[in-house]
Amino acid sequence: MSAQAAPLSDDALVGAMSSLRDDFPALHQEVNGKPLVFLDSAASSQRPQTVIAAMARYESQDHANVHRGVHTLSHRATDLYEGAREKVRQFINASSTREIIFTSGTTESINLVANSFPGAPLQPGDEILITHLEHHANIVPWQLLCQRTGATLVIAPVENNGEVLAEQVISRLSSRTRMLAISAVSNALGTILPLADIIPAARSRGIFVLVDGAQAVPHSDVDVRALDADFFAFSAHKMVGPTGVGVLYGRAELLEKMPPWQAGGDMIEHVSFDGTTFNDLPYKFEAGTPNIAGVVGLGAAIDYLQSVGMQNIARYESLLLKYLEDRLLEQGDIRLIGQAPHKAAVASFIMDDVHPHDLGTIVDQFGIAVRTGHHCAMPIMDRFNVPGTARASLAFYNNRDDIDALVDALATVRSMFR
């Protein structure tokens, strides 16, 4: 399939996507005696053979430390590492590789910004605005920052259908708001947030904007310049890449002024006991030997996603989500938590009289992997007055048979509990 080809019909798209499953070795196994049905990609996606091979090739042939040696392997490792940075730049349409900082993941990316805060230090009474549906990784770093500085964490509400209304966020931007930290897509509910309406309102008031893009990057085109956020954070392992590596995109003019957060090798220009000057962007924020194999894997993941085409992925997943939600709702005893008009491929649900953990244990015996619990988003679970949900999350390597298998297993759950 080519990303550049003319748009396919729905049927042709479904046909073309069906062969991609063969690229993912982990999907071809039995779990508890049944073919694996992997519906937990929002937690972490599986990897195609090309990513596994790129990392193995690096580990077996090209490994040395980056940016340090004059020898051949160090050059090779550096070329692969910096080559991946350029792939990331293109993938999210940043203007410069200086704006692409490799981190250990979305969590570290957000912590970096919270700890190396842009602009003047926060004062008591300053405000940081988040929404009610944020992942803990986009709540707790700001809570800690507020504790250190006396700033206040302000929460924009979520509607009963799981939607976040732009006006509810914008109306909470005050003269004291210094940072808006907001998800592009909710991991727990699937809600796609109206960032195009929200971000200009914040930026025009001089408020910094950080977008938690962990759940957006695997499912749709991301263009950080069009989005116009100051910071954009995401993880490789949710976009068919490896764990332990992620990205912080930041506008260069802000990153230049921000102090380094972690200190050590690679982030310095000159060190003496009288003082230290720091390296240029992006290295100022990359202390120590990085996760080189992980970055190589991220580069290979981007190559893979681009060969499929992000628009194909987005269209296919929305067809699949519709099928998943329709099939769950036709059961009669299943309630979807989060039915925003715009959603990524996540269905969070509750089955009457069955706790999500019992449901998860039982469907696992049929080889079906769903996430159960609070999805690292306890406040939004409290908002909907549920202890947790079962969550089926889709990737482009899923198909209708996976969804039918889940629905069949839910029938067994029902029969055991009635």
Partner 1 sequence: MSVSDLQALYRDQVLAHAKDPHNFGTLDADAICADGNNPLCGDKLRVCVRHYDDILEDIRFEGSGCAISMASASMMTDLLKGLDADSSRKIIGTVIDMLGSGVDAKMPSSIMDTPIAALGAARQYPSRIKCATLAWRAVEAALNGQQQTTTE
What is the set of active-site residues?
376
User: Shortest Cβ distance from residue 357 to partner 1 (Å)?
Assistant: 4
Residue type, 377: A
Do you find a cis peptide bond into 25, omega within 30 degrees of 0?
Answer: no
Only one of the segments 127-135, 154-162, 168-176, 381-389 lies at the binding site for partner 1 (rule: CB under 8 A); that segment is 381-389
User: Shortest Cβ distance from residue 412 to partner 1 (Å)?
Assistant: 7
Geometric angle at alpha carbon 359, from 353 and 360, rounded to 5°: 155
- Using CB under 8 A as the binding rule, whether residue 412 contacts partner 1 is answered as yes
For β-strands 208-212 and 177-183, DSSP reports them as parallel
Pull the structure tokens for residue 356.
């999500």
Pull the structure tokens for residue 142.
């700001």
- Using CB under 8 A as the binding rule, whether residue 139 contacts partner 1 is answered as no
- Using CB under 8 A as the binding rule, whether residue 226 contacts partner 1 is answered as no
What is the full DSSP assignment across 71-82? SHHHHHHHHHHH
- Using CB under 8 A as the binding rule, whether residue 379 contacts partner 1 is answered as no
Distance separating alpha carbons of residues 415 and 405, to the nearest angstrom: 16
Q: Select the residue interacting with partner 1 from 89, 388, 392, 395 (CB under 8 A).
A: 388
Q: Select the residue interacting with partner 1 from 16, 358, 379, 400 (CB under 8 A).
A: 358
- Using CB under 8 A as the binding rule, whether residue 407 contacts partner 1 is answered as no
Distance separating alpha carbons of residues 393 and 43, to the nearest angstrom: 8
Whichever of 33 and 275 has its CB closer to partner 1, that residue is 33
- Using CB under 8 A as the binding rule, whether residue 374 contacts partner 1 is answered as yes
- Please enumerate, as own/partner, the contacts of 157-161 that have beta carbons within 8 Å and a separation of 24 or more: 157/131, 157/132, 158/131, 158/132, 158/133, 158/189, 158/191, 158/380, 158/383, 159/340, 161/338, 161/339, 161/340, 161/341
User: Shortest Cβ distance from residue 133 to partner 1 (Å)?
Assistant: 17
- Using CB under 8 A as the binding rule, whether residue 228 contacts partner 1 is answered as no
Only one of the segments 142-150, 186-194, 230-238, 356-364 lies at the binding site for partner 1 (rule: CB under 8 A); that segment is 356-364
Q: Select the residue interacting with partner 1 from 12, 196, 226, 416 (CB under 8 A).
A: 416
- Using CB under 8 A as the binding rule, whether residue 357 contacts partner 1 is answered as yes
User: Shortest Cβ distance from residue 352 to partner 1 (Å)?
Assistant: 12
User: Shortest Cβ distance from residue 400 to partner 1 (Å)?
Assistant: 24
Distance separating alpha carbons of residues 77 and 90, to the nearest angstrom: 20
User: Shortest Cβ distance from residue 293 to partner 1 (Å)?
Assistant: 29
Could you give the C-alpha distances from 408 to 315, 335, 355, in angstroms and in order?
26, 17, 18
Q: Which of residues 233-252 bind partner 1 (CB under 8 A)?
A: none
- Using CB under 8 A as the binding rule, whether residue 385 contacts partner 1 is answered as no
Pull the structure tokens for residue 233.
């954070």
Only one of the segments 66-74, 292-300, 329-337, 353-361 lies at the binding site for partner 1 (rule: CB under 8 A); that segment is 353-361
Q: Which of residues 26-45 bind partner 1 (CB under 8 A)?
A: 32-33
Distance separating alpha carbons of residues 235 and 184, to the nearest angstrom: 13
CA 221 to chain centre: 13
Q: What is the DSSP letter of 60?
A: I
Residue ranges that bind partner 1, judged by CB under 8 A: 32-33, 353-358, 361-362, 365, 372-374, 378, 381, 387-388, 412, 416-417
